[in-house]
Amino acid sequence: MFEMVQAASRSFYIQSPAKIGVMLGEDNEVSLLDSGSDKDAGRKVKKILDAQGWKLKAIFNTHAHADHIGGNRCLQPQTGCCIYSSGIECAFARDPLWEPAFLYGGNPPRYLRRKFLMAQESEVQPLEPEALSPDWKCIPLPGHAFDMAGFRTPDGAVCLADCLASEATLAKHQVAFLDVEDCLATLDKVKGLQAGDLRPRPRRCLPGHRAAGRAQHRQGARDSLPHRGHLRISSQLRADPEAPLRRLRPCHDLGVARARGQQGAILILLGLRTRTKAELRDNMLCWHR
Ligand SMILES: [Zn+2]
């Protein structure tokens, strides 16, 4: 963990629980794609950059989940770097209380305000086109989060954020999506990286929670979370809408908030496709068609 690996001529990544992209620009200035999960990650990243003699100019947060923005607070005061994130991810990253509040659906209890779900605040700006080098490309990847974005650098590295996940990540966290249909559309887009609308072929794909590789987007897109998770959970929900809650391990602090989010995403999809509706009956929330 926390070793820097070269991905393309001027692109690197730091292997950590959520990969951190390091893109070398002119005059030894670098931009990060995400910043790690907490201040310890931030410290380790700073040490790596210092060892290379590189100055941190900007952080581009792919989305506002705590494991991707947690190093912001440590790195920004030390380096004066600018931090950018796209769309509503900017608001979530600026005020990280939104994340547990959104998932929980209310004022989140203390156990949901820990670093796994809630990063520390940082000064994040909206990602406008002029913030990016003209030869970079921002790739919208919605579904896992509202406005998740990937990035393509001129040397052919493509950061895919969390639209793909490894088998180990799937086994540990099960599914993680905000909008199933957006997730599926994003996977179609990622599969097209080689032959579709994002030519030329990437030299190296960098998913946040999956091994880096040239063809990872194709393999990952076939078996990744939304396809499998959608099929499994939507069939369960047809028979038993509370099933995801019962499958959670006891005392899994984050499980309740996460399950509510997943269940909401699936129910929205079922509502769109099968006209499933939620209704209060005798003070019980019921779903019916
Ligand atoms: Zn994420």
CA separation, residue 201 to residues 72, 185, 194, 215 (Å): 31, 19, 5, 10
Measure 67 CA to ligand 1 centroid, in angstroms: 7
pLDDT, tens only, 183-237: 878 877 887 664 344 556 666 788 787 777 665 555 555 555 545 555 555 566 5
* Gap between the Cα atoms of 225 and 179, Å rounded: 12
The predicted pLDDT at position 205 comes to: 80
pLDDT, tens only, 39-60: 999 999 999 999 999 999 999 9
Residue boundaries of the structural domains of the chain: 4-221, 225-288
Measure 3 CA to ligand 1 centroid, in angstroms: 21
Measure 231 CA to ligand 1 centroid, in angstroms: 21
Measure 40 CA to ligand 1 centroid, in angstroms: 19
Measure 199 CA to ligand 1 centroid, in angstroms: 26
pTM: 0.85
Measure 241 CA to ligand 1 centroid, in angstroms: 24
Measure 162 CA to ligand 1 centroid, in angstroms: 5
Measure 53 CA to ligand 1 centroid, in angstroms: 30
Measure 283 CA to ligand 1 centroid, in angstroms: 34
Measure 65 CA to ligand 1 centroid, in angstroms: 5
**CATH classification number, 4-221, choose in 3.30.160.60, 3.30.499.10, 3.60.15.10, 1.20.120.80:** 3.60.15.10
Measure 86 CA to ligand 1 centroid, in angstroms: 14
Q: Read off the pLDDT band of 20 (50, 70, 90).
A: very high
Measure 63 CA to ligand 1 centroid, in angstroms: 7
Count how many residues are written for the chain. Answer: 289
Q: Name beta bridge partners: 159.
A: 151, 206
Measure 280 CA to ligand 1 centroid, in angstroms: 32
Measure 255 CA to ligand 1 centroid, in angstroms: 15
Distance of CA 206 to the CA centre of its chain: 12
CB atoms within 10 A of CB 239: 7
For 190, the token pair is: 């990622």
The predicted pLDDT at position 147 comes to: 97
The predicted pLDDT at position 177 comes to: 74
- Residues 23-46 have a mean pLDDT of 96
- Residues 24-38 have a mean pLDDT of 96
